C-alpha cells in the first residue's frame, strides 16, 4: 500500500479512496511505482501539481514511491 494525501483542489480526485485521516490507501501490482503513475490512476494531470512530497521530502513526479510510503500531492495555487 502507498498512502496518498491530496490537498486543496485536488482532494475530489480521491474522495472514493480516502480513509479516516484523509489519506487514501492505494494498492498497485508492484512494490514500487512512479508518482506519475499514481497521478494517472487518480486522473490528475501533472500540470496541475505544484509539488509532491514522499515521506515529508519534496520529490519530482518521476520519483519512485515504495510500499508503505506516504505521498503528499499539492496543487498549483493561483489567485489574484
Q: What is the pLDDT of residue 24?
A: 73
Q: Edge to edge, what strands does the sheet with 24-26 contain?
A: 24-26, 2-6, 70-75, 49-54, 57-59
Block means of pLDDT (10 residues each) for the chain, length 80 residues? 86 63 73 92 90 96 93 84
Residue whose cell numbers read 501539481: 49
The C-alpha angle with vertex 60 and arms to 75 and 18, in degrees rounded to 5, equals 50
**Distance of alpha carbon 80 from alpha carbon 72, whole angstroms:** 25
In CATH terms, the fold of domain 2-75 is: Ubiquitin-like (UB roll) (3.10.20)
Contact 39, 60 (CB under 8 A): no
Q: What is the pLDDT of residue 43?
A: 86
Q: Where are the domains of the chain?
A: 2-75
Contact 73, 14 (CB under 8 A): no
Amino acid at each position: 500500500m502507498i498512502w496518498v494525501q491530496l490537498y486543496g483542489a485536488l482532494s475530489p480526485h480521491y474522495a472514493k479512496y480516502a480513509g479516516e485521516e484523509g489519506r487514501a490507501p492505494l494498492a498497485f501490482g508492484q512494490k514500487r511505482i512512479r508518482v506519475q503513475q499514481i497521478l494517472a490512476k487518480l486522473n490528475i494531470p501533472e500540470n496541475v501539481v505544484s509539488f509532491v512530497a514522499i515521506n515529508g521530502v519534496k520529490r519530482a513526479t518521476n520519483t519512485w514511491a515504495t510500499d508503505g510510503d506516504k505521498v503528499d500531492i499539492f496543487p498549483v495555487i493561483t489567485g489574484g
